[in-house]
Chains A and B, each alone.
Chain A
Amino acid sequence: MKKCDVICPFCGCLCDDLEITVEDNRILGVDNGCTLANAKFMGKERLTSPIRRTDGGWEDINYDEAIRYTVDMLLDADRPLLYGWSGTHGEAQCIGVHMCELVGGIIDSTTSVCHGPSILAIQEVGHPGCTLGQVKNRADVVIYWGCNPLEAHPRHMSRYTTYADGYFLDNAFRDRTVVVVDVRETETARVADEFVRIKQGGDYAVLSALRAIVRGKGDMIPPSVAGVPRSQLERIVRMCKDAKFGAVFFGLGLTMTKGKYKNIRNAIELVDELSRHTKFTITPMRGHWNVYGSNEVFTWMTGYPYAIDFCRGIAFYNPGETSAIDILARKECDACMIIGSDPGAHFPRKCVEHLADIPTVVIDPVPTMTTAMANVQIPVAVSGIDAEGTAYRMDGVPFRVKKVIEPTLPSDTEVLGDMFARMKEAKGL
C-alpha cells in the first residue's frame, strides 16, 4: 500500500510530499525523498528494549525499570539537565518543560549548538522573515550564506528556490539568480550563478561592506574585503537592488564562526537596508526537523526559546551560562536526560566526558554515540514513522507529522507522560 503526502522527519525542510510503500507494517520503499529521508525511513537498526549499562557490557531491562530509574535520577538530582528535544514532536517537548520546572532543572535544545546565535541576534534587531511559499512563488534573487543545502537540506533548492516553479515567475529556473557565499566551494556553490568565496572568519567584514555599498558609501571600501574583490560586492548589491523579491538563507557558517550572533545581526541589518530599496527577507536554515518547534514550545511555555534554567523556581535565561555546552563544560549538572539528539557525537569532548561521570539517560530509537555515555537508554517509536505529533518547519509553519506504520514501542509522549505522572505522585502533586 502506498501512503501519500507523508512528511519527512529529518531536516527543517519538512518536505510533505513523500510516498511511502508499506506492506505488513513494514516500510518497503520511499518515493520523492532525498537520500537522507531514505536512510531514515528504511533504517532497520532500532533498539527493541531498554538497555542498562553493566560492568563492561549492556543488559536488557523492561520499560518499568527504565522509567523508574529516570524518575529517581531526576528527583534525586540537585541540578539536572534535560537536553535535546529537536528530534521529537511538540507534545513531548511540552511535557519536558513541565518535568523540568518540577525538578528545578535546566532545559536546552540543540538550538544552542546550531541557530542559538541567530536567536540572540533576532532578539536584538528582529526577524524580517517569511514563509517558504513566499520564497518559492516570488523570489528572483536567492542568497545562501554559510550553508550547503545540497548536502544538509538536499531538497531545499528543488522545492523552494533554484529548481522550483514559482507562481509569479515565468521561468523560475532562468529568472532566479542564486548567489552562494561560503569559505568552501561546495556542491551548492558549483550550481550557483555567483559564488562569493570569503576568507574564514571574514563574514562580518563582507556583510558590513555590502551594507556600506547599499548605503552609497562604496568608495570607502578597500579593493578587497576578506578575499572578495570590491567589484564583486558592487555587482551583488546591484543584483539585490534590482530584485523584485530577495531571500537570504543562512547556516552554521555564520553562527559558528568568529563573531557568532554579531554576524547574524549584521546580516539582518543588511536585509533591513535592502528592504528600503526592494523587498528582502532572511531565514535561518534550521537543521533538525523540529528544532524550530522546540523554540516555539519553550517560548510559549516559559517566555524563552532555549537554555532555560528553573533552579530559582522561575524561568531564567542566559545563553553562555545556562546553555548545555557551558553547563557540561563547567561540570555543573549532576544528572542528564537526553532525548532526540546525540551530544556524544556533536559536543566537544570535555562536555561528553562529564556525561560519563554523572547518571545519564538517553531516550532514542537507535544506538548513538551518546549511548556509550548512558547508564540507561529507552527506545521509543520514531515521530513521523510510527508516532505522530506537531513539528515546525524552518520558516515557523506548524505541521502534523503522521505515522505510516503501527508502533511496537511507546512514543516519546507516552514515555515522558508516564515519567511525569510518577514524578508528580512522588512530590505529592
Chain B
Amino acid sequence: MKFILNTGRSITQGRHVEHKFHRGYSEETSTCFIHPLDLLDLDMEEGEHVEVTSECGSVVLRTVNCEDLRRGMIFVPMGPFANHIIPSHTHSTGMPDFKSIPVELEYTDAERSTQWDLMEKIGGQRYEKM
C-alpha cells in the first residue's frame, strides 16, 4: 500500500540525542506511527513489523497506532532508520525532502536492525564501549 512518509522530532528521540547508543534510541527511531484504520487495511496488528520502501531503499520498522495522523501518512521520528530511505536530492535548495516521501508499506516477519547494524551496512564501525 502506498503512503507518504513524514519525519520529525519526538520527545523520546530528543531525550536520546546525546545517548544514541542506548536501546531506547533505536526503539524510538525505528517506530512507524500509522493510523489504526490504515493498519487494518494492511491486515496487520499494532506491534507487527512493516517493510517501508522508498525510491532509494527499504527498512524494517515496528508499527504503533496513532490517531494524530491523517490516513495515508506515516510518521517516523528522525534518525538513522528514516534516513536510510530518504533520498538525498535537494531541488537545489540544500534541503532534502524529509517530510513528504512516497513509500510502499508491506507486512514482514523480519526483525528490525539496530542503529549500529544500519551504520555498519554502509561502511561504519559500531562503538559499543559505553
CB closest chain-B residue, reference A364: B18
Q: Is the CB of B100 within 8 A of A40?
A: no
CB closest chain-A residue, reference B15: A39
Question: Is the CB of A426 closer than 8 A to any CB of chain B?
Answer: no
Query: Chain A nearest CB: distance from B121 CB in Å?
Result: 9
The residues of B with any CB-CB pair to A shorter than 8 Å are 4, 6, 8-11, 14-21, 29, 56-57, 67-70, 73, 75, 78-80, 83-100, 115-116, 119-120, 122-127, 129-130
CB closest chain-B residue, reference A51: B127
Question: Is the CB of A356 closer than 8 A to any CB of chain B?
Answer: yes
Q: Is the CB of A151 within 8 A of B100?
A: no
Q: Is the CB of B11 within 8 A of A185?
A: no
Add 20 more A-B contacts to A35-B11, A373-B124 (CB < 8 A).
Answer: A36-B14, A51-B127, A57-B125, A112-B94, A116-B93, A151-B10, A184-B70, A253-B99, A255-B95, A256-B97, A256-B98, A320-B93, A320-B94, A324-B94, A342-B20, A345-B83, A345-B115, A356-B123, A369-B79, A373-B123
Q: How far is the CA of A282 from the CA of B78 in the complex (A)?
A: 25
The secondary structure that dominates the B interface is: loop
Q: Is the CB of B9 within 8 A of A151?
A: yes
Query: Chain B nearest CB: distance from A150 CB in Å?
Result: 8
Size category of the binding interface on chain A: 35 or more
Q: Is the CB of A348 within 8 A of B83?
A: yes
CB < 8 Å neighbour of A323 from B90, B116, B120: B90
Q: Is the CB of A39 within 8 A of B95?
A: no
Q: Determine the chain B residues whose CB is within 8 A of the CB of A319 once the complex forms.
A: 93-94
Query: Chain B nearest CB: distance from A284 CB in Å?
Result: 13
Q: Determine the chain B residues whose CB is within 8 A of the CB of A255 once the complex forms.
A: 95
Q: Is the CB of A372 within 8 A of B93?
A: no
Q: Determine the chain A residues whose CB is within 8 A of the CB of B127 once the complex forms.
A: 51, 58, 367, 371-372
Q: Is the CB of B94 within 8 A of A307?
A: yes
Q: Is the CB of B125 within 8 A of A348?
A: no
15 example contacts (A-B, Cβ-Cβ < 8 A) are as follows A35-B14, A35-B15, A39-B15, A39-B16, A43-B19, A151-B10, A252-B99, A258-B100, A261-B93, A324-B94, A325-B90, A349-B56, A352-B83, A366-B19, A369-B115
Q: How far is the CA of A40 from the CA of B15 in the complex (A)?
A: 8
Query: Chain B nearest CB: distance from A265 CB in Å?
Result: 12
Question: Is the CB of A351 closer than 8 A to any CB of chain B?
Answer: yes
CB closest chain-A residue, reference B67: A185
Q: Is the CB of B94 within 8 A of A373?
A: no
Interface string of A53-65 (1 = CB under 8 A from B): 1001110000000
Q: Which of A22-53 contact B (CB under 8 A)?
A: 35-36, 39-40, 43, 45, 51, 53
